[in-house]
Amino acid sequence: MRIEQESDGVSASTKHLVFAYYVTGHGFGHATRVTEVVRHLILAGHDVHVVTGAPDFVFTTEIQSPRLFIRKVLLDCGAVQADALTVDRLASLAKYSETAVKPRAKILAQESEWLNSIKADLVVSDVVPVACRAAADAGIRSVCVTNFSWDFIYAEYVMAAGLNHRSIVWEIAEDYSHCEFLIRLPGYCPMPAFRDIFDVPLVVRRLHKSAKEVRKELGVTDDVKLVILNFGGQPSGLKLKEEFLPPGWLCLVCGASKSDDLPPNFIKLAQDAYTPDIIAASDCMLGKIGYGTVSEALAYKCPFVFVRRDYFNEEPFLRNMLEHYQCGVEMIRRDLLTGHWRPYLQRVLSLKPSYEGGINGGEVAARILQETALGKNYASDKLSGARRLRDAIVLGYQLQRASGRDITIPEWYTTAEDQLGPTTPGSPVDDGSLALSPDFANFDILHGDVQGLPDTMAFLHSLSELEEKHKRRERKAAASLFNWQEDIFVTRAPGRLDVMGGIADYSGSLVLQMPIKEACHVALQRIHPSKHRLWKHAEARQNDKGGNPTAVLQIVSFGSELSNRGPTFDMDLSDFMEEGKPITYEKAKKYFAQDPSQKWAAYVAGSILVLMTELGVRFEDSISMLVSSAVPEGKGVSSSASVEVASMSAIAAAHGLNISPRELAILCQKVENHIVGAPCGVMDQMASACGEANKLLAMVCQPAEIIGLVDIPSHIRFWGIDSGIRHSVGGADYGSVRIGTFMGMKMIKAKASEELSKSCAANGLNYDEVEQDDLELLKQEASLDYLCNLPPHRFEALYAKSLPESIVGEAFVEQHENHNDPVTIIDQKRTYVVKAPTTHPIYENFRVKTFKALLSSASSTYQLASLGELLYQCHYSYSACGLGSDGTDRLVHLVQELQHSAESKSEGGILYGAKITGGGSGGTVCVIGRNCLKSSEHIFEVQQRYKKATGYMPFLFEGSSPGAGKFGYLKIRRRAAPKKANTGDDDAAVTVENSS
């Protein structure tokens, strides 16, 4: 329900009320908006006890009243920030555990007693979880006022924490379930723990002075442009310099320390400066997105140049609201730190903020709180806590969902999405309609064939529409990316379903991989620097270097709004050179890690550096790239490899490089290992580059020897079912298991060397043929290159019992010096599991060989049952390594239930097995079954049961498509269109995006 009525204030109540208002420990934005609500409650004659960790002046500057009581207690910690722009996810969870979880019983007893002692009529929370539970324990009603809740924010952090802290999200959501209803502010996130919701206008602090008065006090004339720097603390690495500002500009700095020496065109603001007045008097604001900055920028029509924060899930929703009302321009972090501010400040002056909504949310919320405390029942029916929590398990996955959103998101957000086009261009519904029209793309295909692939035709169709005016930021950027009179190269690379092999790839196992239907497309244009249309900030950067045209890389990534990554990336290609040679991979890794919202570009741009380093290629022309991937991220189907392979294929095609699919896959692995920093094996890139539709790529990863393509028998079918749990090969669990595996191999080699020495010493040079063979085996094992070359029987006979279950890194290094893995580093303080990760690839290699042989055996129920059993064995071996997850275990169990059901037995078997895939720790489950209609029905039943149990409807992967090598590349050129009068639309498109 939306409540937005205007009034002259909250009418005074005949009954004196007492409110306990809890304020979260995250940032000033919460405290400032609480102040506005509290001010109206006090004006209505009530007492308000504010429970907070924020400084007193935040409240007392605005409210001078004996009815305001400030109690300094911190009951949650918010998000811990490493610096002004970086949230430390693991530290946030650890701090919350110390602040609110461990002392929970004491907090609840203390708060319940205090609430009763002040005779509180209502508890209000923004948005402290434990306050709602304490209110319930004290028998007092509670209401939350917020635009986000901590269960949603922390759930994404929990995905990065592995098995640690998972109970935190459930506990927070359960605490919120005791709240009677939610007063929801604009720019809100999904908040599934709340069911009764009332929307109010922006809660914004009122102005005390006019813009003219503020400028007069500052001594700033009307002809001077003012920018307020508002980060809540200086971003790490930012050293302010005079040349950052264009002539005629002055910067007002919030939060500067007394010891900071500022240039003459920068002015320190007092710590207690009243920022709403200053924002309203400024020409623009430069800072990070938070509720306070966004709401005040919108309310007072102050254009906002913002820099993204990483890992704060509230930001995308506020950012979309800001941009929807034409009030925001994004600055990339690199330009913030290096002082390339001019193009952004110039661009922001042309914005026309259009927010005309109410800004009296504080008053409206206060009125609802007063009426609730007086006994009014706003919630039509009080839902049970269990029903309120039915969605809580999927809180961490909301932002990663593909199109077809089924979550509660703001009305303005869905409206804007409907008006501005589909959420994920390049991944349309495959209805075959595009295949009927040969002129769908307005392009001449000069080389290659679309091969009837609907997603490729859809991608070309979306490419052909890019000259039109677009309102979505990534489409604006793409519209100015290409010179339509020049050739464009298009490549395609699919994701993959790990049927067998998985994490045994880096141990040299045989693997079986199926390229899936979902793929990444890349459109690339190579163009002389003098003809390259640069975005404004890239142009300004080049002008600062002398103005001569030099090669620039510009990338647009579609689908960026589904996550918190920036939609554009650009760099001078000369940044990859140092003293006439390519920079090191380590320097490149640090270069891309500077700005987490643009770290994704390492997967794309990293291909250029690898080609420079490994093949000696030099790039003198500028490069423009559009990346559009329909391979869902974080689901264990190799979204990163598909981007790498499609990107490198496009670069190679445009530059006439003859690289075989196998060699290209190995080069792409270098991108991920050395520049991205993820310790993956090579099977993902090989499947994406070398796979063929409806076949399994059989490859021995030593390092990457393709032994053939295995036909999938017509009576067998594979599916992938997404668990909804975010997976990352860059995560700590995958890396620690890999380290444990290499530790185990080093121990085995040491043991073999020891046994070899003993045998030689005991037998001298006189040994029979049997002993000679045994010594030869020991020699081979002492110099083992790949763990999978050790047969299971030799492992069990000689080595299994000598391996420890686990070992501390420091102890291993003392005994063995190193683990000989070039892409991982041992943390000497960490304990690593050794025996299970070492055992897994040895037996997995045997399982994969058996699986491959069974595929070509006679069709029978026994064949299917045996194949399924091998999948199950692999799944439980993953779990023994520590790479399982609740979601994937649940999916495998559901397959087992249906496999052994009476209906399955009566049909002679339907589904036969399932296993976790790829790097584990979540992601997708591979299922094998009979290729029949009943199997599809059972797969649908698995999806429905999983949704009923978890609230999450799993994404289903079915179908296959060709790898990048089989697809090749397209060379296209737009057909000449009839000449029209020049309206300047092209220039306008460039100008709009150049602000990004």
Distance between CA atoms of residues 125 and 132, nearest Å: 7
Report, in this order, helix, strand and coil percent for the chain, each rounded to 5.
45, 20, 40
Distance CA 651, CA 646 (A): 9
Residue 43, token pair as written in the block: 């004006």
Instruction: For residue 210, give Cα distances in angstroms to 207, 245, 248, 254.
Output: 7, 25, 22, 19
Residue type, 906: S
734: enclosing H helix or E strand: helix 732-763
Report how far residue 809's alpha carbon sits from residue 821's, in angstroms, rounded to the nearest whole number.
Answer: 14
Q: Return the residue matching tokens 């076949």.
A: 695
CA distance 637 to 3: 44
**Among the listed residues 421, 335, 522, 416, the one whose alpha carbon sits nearest the alpha carbon of residue 995:** 335
* DSSP reduced 3-state for 396: helix
Q: Choose among 328, 281, 330, 275: nearest CA to 304.
A: 328
Stated as kind and residue range, the H or E segment containing 913 is strand 911-916
Instruction: For residue 335, count other CB atoms closer than 10 A to its CB.
Output: 20
Q: Which two tokens stand for residue 919?
A: 């790097």
Q: DSSP of 506-544, one letter per residue?
A: GGT-EEEEEEEEEEEEEEEEEE-GGG----HHHHHHHHH
| Spatial distance between the Cα atoms of 329 and 392, rounded to a whole number of angstroms | 34
C-alpha dist (Å) from residue 513 to 48, 94, 446, 747: 63, 39, 32, 30
H helix and E strand count, the chain: 35, 32
Which is nearest to 522 in space by CA: 607, 586, 440, 592? 607
The first and second tokens of residue 528, run together, are 């002389």
Residue 495 φ/ψ, nearest 5 degrees: -75, -175
Q: What are phi and psi of 68, to 5 degrees?
A: -95, 125
Q: Are strands 47-52 and 18-23 parallel, antiparallel or unpaired?
A: parallel
Biggest CA-to-CA distance, the chain? 108
Alpha helices in 882-984 (DSSP H): 886-899, 902-906, 933-950, 964-967
Closest CA to 100 of 163, 165, 28, 191: 165
56: Cβ contacts below 8 Å, ≥ 6 apart:
70
Query: Which secondary-structure segment (H or E) carries 639?
Result: helix 639-654
Which H or E run includes 572? strand 568-572
Return d(Cα 146, Cα 185) in angstroms, integer: 6
Under 8 Å between Cβ of 573 and 552: yes
Supply angle C-alpha 233, 237, 238, rounded to 5: 60
User: Terminus-to-terminus CA distance in the chain, angstroms?
Assistant: 36
What's 466's DSSP letter?
A: T
Catalytic positions are: 684
Cross-strand pairs, 307:
288
Hey, what are 238's tokens?
């930012």
Distances, alpha carbon 760 to alpha carbons 66, 632, 748, 766, 770, in Å: 91, 56, 18, 9, 14
Rounded to whole angstroms, the Cα distance separating 279 from 215 reads: 11
| Residue type (1 letter), 450 | V
